[in-house]
Every structure is written in structure tokens, then in C-alpha cells.
A = this chain, B = another copy of it.
């Protein structure tokens, strides 16, 4: 028996229909876990495309237009670039009832928590910060994928202020689109993602940039591929999104870069000194860690977590 009372979310409002927002909207509609899915978009064109694609039931360019109809049981998902979250939160504060659950999908949580504190002067119980660990090099509403979150992890970072009912509603939303929900503190989230995602992106962008400036430039790209192709794939990711992430997670990223550069510098010194033992031990340690990690992933039988 499916009645509207049994749905975990009444109305789902997604602000920003890019890959992340569009995919949650499409996934929620496809699985019938909300009564209505509404998109808030920057232009009528994006809205028409989203409705035509079946990503949302309806779309608007004005939050003010739909805000009066929102109340308890409804969820707003803020899915705009990290550094644009604050502006959206100001609108939400001015227009939306404190009964409405508000969550987000930004890749850095510390900066969003600061935004919340700056905008509200406190952390309201309606706010549940989160980060779905999924993505691809594709972007925009046309990249919306109703199965993007299946077996992917979503990290929620509740604080002492977070209301239990709000947290429960956001958890039910993500579980309803077949994601695996986990909790971390804001600080842990940013440190861990800084090391596993933001650092590798900084390295990949830097490596490709280094090679593109080398005097052998043409030949370098002619002679490179295979492992190199995998290795640099993430350097094709969206530039604006990554600028925002690097700035928003500034301290953790700098700390991760410093640890990494110190490690590369030790390796360089061992090469310089023709110290084969240190090289061998470093490579063996890395190979063991990598192989152990691959096994862990395999044992998780299909749960995968992407690159952002």
C-alpha cells in the first residue's frame, strides 16, 4: 500500500539542477519517494529542459514563488557551487519557514557551516549538512542520472544543534535513492576529503599543467597514454567547482599538499643519492597499501564512492 502519508518527503525542492541536484531530483521522482519534486533554476531554459527530461515535476526561477507553500515534511536541497551557497542561504532564511528541512550537497562542509552561522547567527535545527560522494567529469542538467547515487556513500555532518526529525528526513531521502548514509564530524569530513579527493585533484591539475608547459609538450602528449590517461582523467573536471573547493577547504588542502610535497621531496632525495633501498621500501609500502585498499573495496561488494 502506497499512500502519500508513507512517503519520506512531501515536497522536495532542489535549488540548482546540475549533475548533483538534477540526479537527486530524477532519482527521487523515478522512485516515487516524494509527492512533488520542484526545481529552482537560474533560467527558464534549464527549467524547460528539466521538465521535458522528467527530472522534476515543475521548475521556477523564483524561490519566493514557491516558498509560501513549504512547511513541515518538505526538504530543500541546496545544490549550487560551494562558494554560492551563502547567497542561497540568505534567500532561504528570508523566505522559508523554520519547519522546512534544509540540506546541501557541497564538497566542503566547514565553509558551509561558517555560511550558516554567518547567515543565521547560529545553526538552526532545520539545517542538515551533507555531501553525496558521487560525480563525473560531466556536468549540467542534461547529465542528470537517476541511478547516480545507487550504492554510493552520502556523508552527513550533523552538529549538536541538528534536529532529530530533520536528520531523519534527510537520511530517509538519501536511503530512498539507494545511497548509503554515513556520519562524520565537519572537521573529519574536510580533512579526509582534503586528502583523498582534493589533494589528488590538485596533483592531477598540476601534473597536466606541468607537462603542457614542458618544451617537449607536443611529443609528451603524443607519447603518453594508458596509465597516464587514467592518472590525468580527473584533471578534466569542472574548473569553477574545483576553484571553489580548493578555496573553501583551504587549510586542509594546504596541509595535505605539504605532507605530499615533503614525501615527494624525500623520494627525490633518495633518487639523487642513488639510495635504492629507500626507493624499494617506499614503493613496496605504497604497493601494499594500494593492494590492501583494493581488496577492501572489492569486499564492500559494489559500494563505490567517487571522486569529489
Interfacial residues, chain A to chain B (CB-CB below 8 A): 133, 135, 153, 155, 188, 191-193, 195-197, 199-200, 202-214, 216, 219-237, 239-240, 242-243, 246-247, 250, 253-254, 256-261, 263-265, 267-268, 271-272, 274, 276, 279-280, 282-287, 289-294, 296-297, 304-308
Give 8 closest A-B pairs by Cβ, nearest first.
Answer: A227-B307, A226-B306, A196-B224, A239-B283, A212-B289, A230-B230, A208-B286, A225-B305
Q: Looking at A155, A193, A235, A254, which has the most chain B CB atoms within 10 Å of its CB?
A: A235
Copies of this polypeptide in the complex: 2
Q: Among the listed B192, B240, B258, B264, which residue makes an inter-chain contact with A280, where contact means beta carbons less than 8 Å apart?
A: B240
Closest-by-CB residue of B relative to A197 is: B228
User: Which residues on the B side are within 8 Å of A285 (C-beta)?
Assistant: 209, 212
State whether B225 touches A304 (Cβ < 8 A): yes
State whether A219 touches B192 (Cβ < 8 A): yes
Given the contacts A240-B280, A271-B254, A221 and B263 also touching, CB distance less than 8 Å: no
User: Which residues on the B side are within 8 Å of A259 (C-beta)?
Assistant: 210, 213-214
State whether A220 touches B196 (Cβ < 8 A): yes
